Structure 1
């Protein structure tokens, strides 16, 4: 009988055998089994107390008669059959926080690219143009970070030393945060922050409150020299309003790791703007993905035995 079953489906192009190896290193006294086929998954989960992977469907869940914990390899868990997991009495944890360092580094790269106009340098290089252009400095600017979870904190941490003012937007502003100022999602407070923003970084979950948060009215409030950075979810931004803002030069540019829709159709106008940087939702990609995820699960296994509160538990 396996103590922990690793399901076969990987993520970010990272093989699951590496995840299994990280778990074996941290839990040498536990039997770790990697299921490489659908048949092996059904066989191994039958009596395993812990299963981990990208997802688990209801058919496989029904076969997991002894399952106590499903450790999701994603931070998001909306794709999981949560009602069925509850009915089976299975605890669920996620990967929240493991992507914060890599995403924060990518955000910093975006900010420095626009501060120093590196994208213009790359454009001139492609055209073999040796002509000087005006650049800026990140120092002295105001960076507004929407969402002060693990990613938002990591972004603000990496801005230390750049001599910037920071504004944080979160659901519970009374909790404070790492930014110089913290406000809530009250529309008046948000627009007051936007009016003072040079770089707007979105690092918030997609909820009823944040869906379409950056809309036509928000772009009207943002200064024309501002830059939008979205590493949250595409739906936080009204895409049509963004296209209009870029066309009308209502903002200086945008860096988008996520879009709505995703992926963008080949004929979408966002592909064609020289001041819009697009990356394929890979800000969270890091070779530390499995080690960090294995740290969470390895810490939770003894807690599962003792009945302590599980790290990263979502249900």
Structure 2
């Protein structure tokens, strides 16, 4: 019996784990690059074999997935599976309207990995590790020591404000409690008293209160119409001048132009960003030239182990949709 056919990307390989080989045991794979060739005459038309799309994290693939004309090429498409928790990059409503399911991944392993990465960014920013490294590379050892000793701050007794106390936010709070930090949080709904007491966290009903009192602001909210640009010029001005902001959610949660201005004007002390708009930033982008900014390539949830788990979950989601079974991680709006 012939295996079902899905679309992926030619870049679908992971060092240390041959994910492609695992998928090839269950599916025949065609490559989306073949459907978006430069020459219009090379574009495929109505490929009835395709039943699933694995939306690997290749930025230029996202635009095609949300192009209904592209999706129309595959009349038997049953599912688009994204190996991420967030799904703001997928037009779920358009796909659902065409009878196509969309799935994401939810696993405690990735939650834990992301929380550790976010906390690590806060530690690096607080102790000026990035600035010390740059000074060291420039052979200015004395200045490097000055930066890290005299400009760094201790986390103990400082206040961490967590915007979005979901699974990731709560795990960050657990780590902060171990560092004897004061914890405040802002969320759509207040967590249980037991949850709050476990990490000694105080609920802030409004974001403004959190921003005024926090030394470190950690963003862990999902991207939505309500959270897009939720941190703008007004919000940044509410923060302490010696405060820092860490974003491990989505780039669009922060008004990036306002952030650049705030950093240039010393409205806040620094920023650590695992997510930006766009991704990646162009090499000449102002954020990449600032000594008080850490930028990482949207990697908070990614290790060799977690990537393997992500794609295994995607495989199970795609198999379920093709076989007509309930999709374990289907996104239902």
TM-score bracket, normalised by the shorter chain, equals 0.7 to 0.9
Q: Following the alignment from structure 2 to structure 1, what is the Cα–Cα distance between the partners of residues 100 and 313? A: 20
2:172 aligned residue (123, 141, 155): 155
Decide whether aligned partners of structure 1 residues 289 and 45 sit closer, same or farther in structure 2, where only a CA change above 3 A counts. Answer: farther
SS at match of 1:151: helix
Decide whether aligned partners of structure 1 residues 158 and 34 sit closer, same or farther in structure 2, where only a CA change above 3 A counts. Answer: farther
2:29 aligned residue (9, 27, 34): 34
CA contact (8 A) 2:88 2:223 kept: no
Q: Following the alignment from structure 1 to structure 2, what is the Cα–Cα distance between the partners of residues 88 and 238? A: 33
Residue in 2 that maps onto 1:88: 98
Decide whether aligned partners of structure 1 residues 59 and 299 sit closer, same or farther in structure 2, where only a CA change above 3 A counts. Answer: closer
CA contact (8 A) 1:20 1:34 kept: no
CA contact (8 A) 2:80 2:103 kept: yes
Any gaps of 5 or more consecutive residues in structure 1? none
CA contact (8 A) 1:94 1:314 kept: no
Residue in 1 that maps onto 2:9: 8
SS at match of 2:165: coil
Residue in 2 that maps onto 1:282: 299
2:223 aligned residue (198, 206, 217): 206
Q: How many residues align?
A: 303
Q: Following the alignment from structure 1 to structure 2, what is the Cα–Cα distance between the partners of residues 146 and 104? A: 13
Q: Following the alignment from structure 1 to structure 2, what is the Cα–Cα distance between the partners of residues 129 and 281? A: 30
Deviation at 1:302, TM superposition (A): 5.2
Deviation at 1:47, TM superposition (A): 4.6
Residue in 2 that maps onto 1:238: 255
Q: Following the alignment from structure 1 to structure 2, what is the Cα–Cα distance between the partners of residues 149 and 9? A: 35
With normalisation by structure 2, the TM-score equals: 0.73
Q: Following the alignment from structure 1 to structure 2, what is the Cα–Cα distance between the partners of residues 203 and 197? A: 15
Residue in 1 that maps onto 2:311: 293
CA contact (8 A) 1:140 1:164 kept: yes
Residue in 1 that maps onto 2:135: 124
SS at match of 1:119: helix
Deviation at 1:118, TM superposition (A): 1.7
Deviation at 1:190, TM superposition (A): 0.9
CA contact (8 A) 2:47 2:74 kept: yes
Residue in 2 that maps onto 1:254: 271
Deviation at 1:220, TM superposition (A): 2.3
1:226 aligns with 2:247: no
Any gaps of 5 or more consecutive residues in structure 2? 36-42, 57-61
Deviation at 1:23, TM superposition (A): 4.7
Deviations 1:172-203 (A, max 9, x none): 3367766613345xxxx211111111111112
SS at match of 2:18: helix
CA contact (8 A) 2:260 2:287 kept: yes
